[in-house]
Amino acid sequence: MSTIKDIAKSVGLSVTTVSRALNDHYDVSEKTKQKIKQAAKELNYSPNSIARSLVMKKTRTIGLLVSELFREGVKDNFTFEVLSGINKCAGQLDYDLVLFSTNSAKQKVKTYTQLCKERRVDGVIISGIKTNDPYLKEIATSDIPCVLIDIPIKSDTVGFVTTDNVLGAKEAVRHLIGLGHTYIAFINGHEFAHVSKKRLEGYNEALEEANIPIQKEWILDGSFSDEVAEQKAAVLLKHYPEITAVFCASDLMALGVIRAANKLNIKVPEDLSIVGYDDIILASYVTPSLTTISQDKYQMGYQAAELLISMLENNTDPHQRLLNTKLIIRESTKLNTKIKS
């Protein structure tokens, strides 16, 4: 295997000059850089990444830290799509990607900083973390560059990527109101998800703007789980048969509501219209297909990686990115023909 010394001998320059040229230092002319890089190519030179990282104090590796990574997550594919976007961007910009997970038990043993240093990452993208997570406080004060997905914290070393969750929820509820629904329930995620707070805000605003009273007993948490949402919806629909529509803070929970309705012989969408959030793959395959708010999970990952690498390379771009959502109308919503007394 060729070394820097072999390249230096080939081009008649010092090892120091060759090293600086291969690392694109400004004090080496472009002509000399091209000459050295061509020689490196002809000699099949491959840099020692470990040695290089020790010299440069950078590994060109970013991490994706996922909180509570469970097998059940394959149902909504959220993490995989985010991961795919991160991987694509990292590869294009010549960075490696490491995936690691955490939970409350691990956090009692290792700090966020220890975890990152053990994995030798230059920066981290974090997904699925709760607003009460102890790592969140450490992230805000850490000198390790970090990009959060769906938690809007911003500093010199922290940025975030998210969608307009308030507007997305408002579009969902406005769609139902436009179909003549005024008895609209809401199955939210949980109190420690920032997106849950924002989607609840959008739900409330849409009802208020339409002068529709907010029924607090019609707002339940489904833990972003189809099974929990099914159980909650079954109780809700039994106790309040006047409900004609349900907005869910995730597609997975919307699928649970559809199951609950079917078991209660409530027809969707004839008797009950349902709107989800995310536009997961299953949304278009379930019967009836699910009306939903689409957010581009792949693009969230791609933008998160692009933002993090920009921060690592000391670019001065704003440390936040807000992506658009879109209402996708399918078969699970219909004009309300029920007359309420």
Fold for domain 61-163+297-323? Rossmann fold (3.40.50)
Residue 20: its pLDDT value, please?
A: 83
Which has the closest alpha carbon to 329: 178, 198, 221, 205?
Answer: 178
Which has the closest alpha carbon to 188: 177, 180, 178, 196?
Answer: 196
Confidence band (pLDDT; 50, 70, 90) for 339?
Answer: low
For β-strands 61-67 and 123-127, DSSP reports them as parallel
Contact indicator for 303, 310 with CB cutoff of 8 Å: no
Average pLDDT over residues 273-278: 98
Q: Tell me the pLDDT tens digit for each residue of 118-161.
A: 889 999 999 988 999 888 889 988 999 999 999 999 898 999 99
- Residues with Cβ within 8 Å of 46's Cβ and at least 6 positions away in sequence, in order, are 1, 2
Evaluate if residue 49 carries a pLDDT over 60: no
For β-strands 245-248 and 158-163, DSSP reports them as unpaired
Fold for domain 165-295? Rossmann fold (3.40.50)
Range list of β-strands (E), 54-197: 61-67, 96-102, 123-127, 146-149, 158-163, 184-188
Q: Tell me the pLDDT tens digit for each residue of 182-205.
A: 999 999 999 999 999 999 999 999
Evaluate if residue 50 carries a pLDDT over 70: no
Q: Do domains 61-163+297-323 and 165-295 have the same CATH topology?
A: yes
**Confidence (pTM):** 0.82
Contact indicator for 163, 301 with CB cutoff of 8 Å: no
CA dihedral sign of residues 5, 7, 10, 15? negative
Contact indicator for 230, 256 with CB cutoff of 8 Å: yes
Residue 3: its pLDDT value, please?
A: 84
Contact indicator for 238, 185 with CB cutoff of 8 Å: no
The structural domains of the chain, with segments of one domain joined by +, span 4-47, 61-163+297-323, 165-295
**∠ CA(169), CA(172), CA(177), 5° rounding?**
120
- Residues with Cβ within 8 Å of 86's Cβ and at least 6 positions away in sequence, in order, are 62, 64, 97, 125, 301, 302, 304, 305
Reading the block at residue 1, the tokens are 């295997």
Pick the CATH number of 4-47 from 3.30.230.10, 3.30.420.130, 1.10.260.40, 3.40.605.10: 1.10.260.40
Evaluate if residue 67 carries a pLDDT over 60: yes
Reading the block at residue 282, the tokens are 């299953």
